[in-house]
Amino acid sequence: MIRLALPTGDLRRDTAALLDAAGLGIEGYAAGSRALRFEMPDAGVARVFREKDIPAQVALGNYDAGICGLAWAEELAQRYPGLEVVRLRDLGYARSGLWLAVAGDTCEPSVRIVSEYGNIADTLARRMRLPRYRIFSLWGAAAAYPPEDADLAIVPATDAAGVEAQGLRPVCEVLASSAWLIANRRSLAQKDLSLLLSRLLDGRVPAPPSAPALVAPPALGLRAAERPPRTRLRLALPDGHAQSHTVAALEMAGLQVDGYGKEDLVRRPRIAFDAVEVKVIRPQDMPQQVAIGNFDLAVTGRDVLFDHKIQFPSSPVEEVVDLGRSRYGLAAIVKDVPADGVAGAVRWWRAQGRATIRVASEFPNIADHFARERHFGRYSVVPIAGASEGFVPDDAEILIEGIETGSSVRANKLTVLERFFESTNCVIANRRRPEGALRATFDALVERLRAGALVPAGAATEG
């Protein structure tokens, strides 16, 4: 039985068309069904993942083959050069590049590089022989960071104009990416994948014989310069699922933010509050940005703060206002495990001969902490980007996942073994408060944000 990993998101439509044309059409996949697992008639099974997770799943051998952007395969390979992944063929769609971009002519003495592709960024920094650099491996919105919060960004774009459209100056394309068929090396060597390969490698799309390689950028010639002291307070607001909850809190607090609506979202909206500037970034990236002093305040989730504090226990970030919205819990979730607690489940997996317990989560630090605290023994954490319900039981034994009402858990026939952390959205700040005039602005803004809390805001709660 062939196991194929397929992408959700932007690649779904073209991938579905490719599979249809190859006679491997999967009912429901093209339509964006909520199902995560599909039968491929006469071929095997297909499982839907976030594109970013596919190379790791193929490398682990959980799937024989997968379709994803080449950039994600390269991102994993840069960290793990001995990867069991073979790049088989350019599938001819989703053509895009990864571009190195700058915002100006200066940089901090320790060059700040932002990207969703942190491993590629690290390799390029070494190739450029940057004497000192910092990599911020982001969940998204990299183009929004320069020039205030980053010196270099590595961003996806179809061409140089696409980089400029993001407000950045392109330096060079570092990787030409497109959708690729990849396969597990051992599966290729030992398993009959001929049905899949014959249908997908039929030469329908002219393709180069080998995958493009990472291009080393030229010397940048940036001048090192310290940042001038800030005159405005900086607030980070979240995009994505967290945005609607934040909009509600801001409205209740009487804070008008132009350009932060669902329809008119911009990365630098304007807030009606003196001496404050706002930037919209991913909530997962906020604690680190607050810790290093790029932002004075940020609205994020307590789960995200908890994950950050586990990775960096002495981080100076703290919660200052509980906004009381976006309420949900983090839980340990399994499927088809005859146990009513985590300890019993661990004993059951061991009795089944499972040497390593795989813990999948979008919160890898929390998952690691959970497994350590519950004495899992030998375990591995599988960091994932989403589509998490489908991971258990085939691709992980246990899932550390946020649950709200439990409807998704019930719909997927999953079992909650333990709900161990409660999260709401909250305002976070650096323990080291801004000084001078900015301190008064900070205090005033925190007070206003407190008025947006759904519950009376008591003392800050630690994660």
Partner 1 sequence: MPEVAQSQLARGMRDLLPAEMRRVRRIEDAFTRTCLRWGYGEIRTPVIEPIHLFTAAGTLSPQTLDRVYSFLDWDGWSGERVVLRPDSTIPAARLYAERFPPGSVARLFYRQDIFRFAEDDSAREEWQCGVELMGETGRRGDIELIFLALDALAEAGAAGVVVRLSHAGIVRAVLAAAGMPAEAQAAAYDRLLDGDGKVVDEIEARLPQLNAPLRLLFDVDGAGSGYIANIRAALAAEIPGLTPALDELAAVVAALEARGVAPRISAALARRFEYYSGIVMRFERDGRRIGGGGRYDELIALVGGRRVPASGFALDIGALLDATAPGDDERAVRISVTAEADSPEMIAAAYDCAAELRRAGFAVDTIDEGRDGAPCVVCRPSRPRFVLRHGGSERAFEGAAELMAALEHVR
**Which residues within the stretch 420-449 sit at the binding site for partner 1 (CB under 8 A)?**
none
Beta carbons of 115 and 229 less than 8 angstroms apart: no
**Which residues within the stretch 205-224 sit at the binding site for partner 1 (CB under 8 A)?**
218-219
Is the Cβ of residue 106 or residue 311 nearer to partner 1 in the bound state?
311
The residue type found at 332 is A
Pairwise CA distance, residues 425 & 414, whole Å: 26
Q: Please spell the DSSP secondary structure of 37-74, one letter per residue.
A: EEEETTTEEEEEE-GGGHHHHHHHTSSSEEEEEHHHHH
Is the Cβ of residue 90 or residue 149 nearer to partner 1 in the bound state?
149
Q: Which of 244, 243, 257 lies closest to 448, judged by CA?
A: 257
Is the Cβ of residue 101 or residue 130 nearer to partner 1 in the bound state?
130
Instruction: State the alpha helices, DSSP H only, in 275-322.
Output: 286-291, 302-311
Beta-bridge mates of residue 399 = 333, 360
Candidate ranges 27-35, 139-147, 313-321, 400-408; the one touching partner 1 (CB under 8 A): 313-321
Binding letters toward partner 1, positions 73-112, x by CB under 8 A: --------xx---------------------------x-x
Is the Cβ of residue 96 or residue 123 nearer to partner 1 in the bound state?
123
Taking each helix axis as running N to C, give the angle between helix 364-373 and helix 302-311, from 0 to 180 degrees, rounded to the nearest 10.
Answer: 70
Q: How far is the CB of 289 from partner 1 (least distance, A)?
A: 9
Give the neighbor-by-neighbor strand order of the sheet with 233-238.
Answer: 276-281, 233-238, 297-301, 425-430, 317-322
Is the Cβ of residue 128 or residue 426 nearer to partner 1 in the bound state?
128
Interface with partner 1 (CB under 8 A), residue from 188, 207, 292, 343: 292
Interface with partner 1 (CB under 8 A), residue from 49, 63, 117, 136: 136
Query: Residue 35 corresponds to which tokens in the numbers above?
Result: 């199902």
Q: Please spell the DSSP secondary structure of 267-279, one letter per residue.
A: SS-EESSTTEEEE
Is the Cβ of residue 287 or residue 402 nearer to partner 1 in the bound state?
287
Interface with partner 1 (CB under 8 A), residue from 210, 314, 352, 405: 314
Q: How far is the CB of 308 from partner 1 (least distance, A)?
A: 8
- The footprint of partner 1 on this chain (CB under 8 A) covers a number of residues equal to 29
Is the Cβ of residue 126 or residue 241 nearer to partner 1 in the bound state?
126
Pairwise CA distance, residues 299 & 235, whole Å: 8
Binding letters toward partner 1, positions 116-135, x by CB under 8 A: ------xx-xxx-xxxxxxx
Pairwise CA distance, residues 31 & 45, whole Å: 18
Q: How far is the CB of 101 from partner 1 (least distance, A)?
A: 18
Residues that bind partner 1 (CB under 8 A): 81-82, 110, 112, 122-123, 125-127, 129-136, 218-219, 287-288, 291-292, 308, 311-315
